[in-house]
Amino acid sequence: MTQPSAALIIIGDEILSGRTQDKNINSLARFLHDRGINLREVRVIGDQHDRIVAAVQALSGEYDLVFTSGGIGPTHDDITTVAVAAAFGVAAIRHPEADALLINHYADTDLDYNSARQKMADIPEGADLIYNPVSAAPGYRIGNVHVMAGVPKIFDAMLMQVEAMLPDGMQQHRVSVQTALGEGTLAEGLAIIEARYNGLSIGSYPWFKPGQYGTAVVVSALDRDDVDKAAADILQLIEQLGGSGTMEDTVTGGNTI
């Protein structure tokens, strides 16, 4: 078993302008990591039809799974569905089940199910719905592309609906070695350690506290033995450089040393 690859397309002028802060990247990254799927690329693009088409076509051809967030609401600039349909060469049609879900949803409110809201029932032909337990308007999957809402609460709820659609993957093992040494002190030795192992990555991340600084060194791989051996190598390196370190398993959160 290996790790399927994935990409995320964040769609929305409001993200690029800074008016809205994205929260969906972290949610998706954690969700996929827990299921053994490797999120390898994130793109942020505006509400531009041709750019959405190009991004969907490029990433769906390169990765096993693609997710999008944003642009499936009722307003004039919500053009994701039309663009995704164009990317797959199909029409966006009024989906009977999506329409029924929204009719039922708005029947219990004082809001009119007007033409703008009816637009949220338009789905690319041949797509499967991703249900939305928060506000009824569904996302959908077409090919290997999963189209979801940009509102974080709805995005997270849709992720739970997507889970059954996803392939199985092998969860990556990950440990963090903490030390008060600076990453510049560690850099050369970390590169040598990483080169000893196939398919293993080592990242160093500086941290700062009042009157103190240090480095979190994160070791990741599919092979647990390699992770443990590389982490032990890093602890030895830290000692050789006159420092001390502790190792934490970042999957379980348990302290291993």
pLDDT by 10s per residue, the chain, length 257: 589 999 999 999 999 999 999 999 999 999 999 999 999 999 999 999 999 999 999 999 999 999 999 999 999 999 999 999 999 999 999 999 999 999 999 997 999 999 999 999 999 999 999 999 999 999 999 999 999 999 999 999 999 999 999 998 998 999 999 999 999 999 999 999 999 999 999 999 999 999 999 999 999 999 999 999 999 999 999 999 999 999 987 653 333 33
Last residue of a domain, one of 133, 165, 197: 165
Distance CA 92, CA 49 (A): 14
Distance CA 239, CA 179 (A): 10
Domain that holds residue 113: 5-165
Query: Which residues lie across from 219 on neighbouring strands?
Result: 175, 202
In a domain, 63, yes or no: yes
Helix axes 152-162, 24-34, angle to 10 degrees: 20
In a domain, 255, yes or no: no
In a domain, 227, yes or no: yes
Q: Taking the mean position of all CA atoms in its chain, how far away is CA 41?
A: 8
Number of independent structural domains in the chain: 2
Last residue of a domain, one of 131, 147, 165: 165
Tokens at residue 169, please?
Answer: 């993957």
Strand 173-179 relative to strand 145-148: parallel, antiparallel, unpaired? unpaired
Distance CA 193, CA 155 (A): 39
How confident is the model over 47-104, as pLDDT tens digits? Answer: 999 999 999 999 999 999 999 999 999 999 999 999 999 999 999 999 999 999 999 9
Last residue of a domain, one of 140, 165, 190: 165
In a domain, 254, yes or no: no
Percent of the chain with pLDDT over 90: 93
In a domain, 257, yes or no: no
Q: Measured on CA atoms in the order 42, 43, 46, 51, is the torsion positive or negative? A: negative
Instruction: Report the length, in residues, of the chain.
Output: 257
35 and 151, same domain (yes or no): yes
Distance CA 3, CA 38 (A): 6
In a domain, 234, yes or no: yes
The values of phi and psi at residue 121, to 5°, are: -95, 0
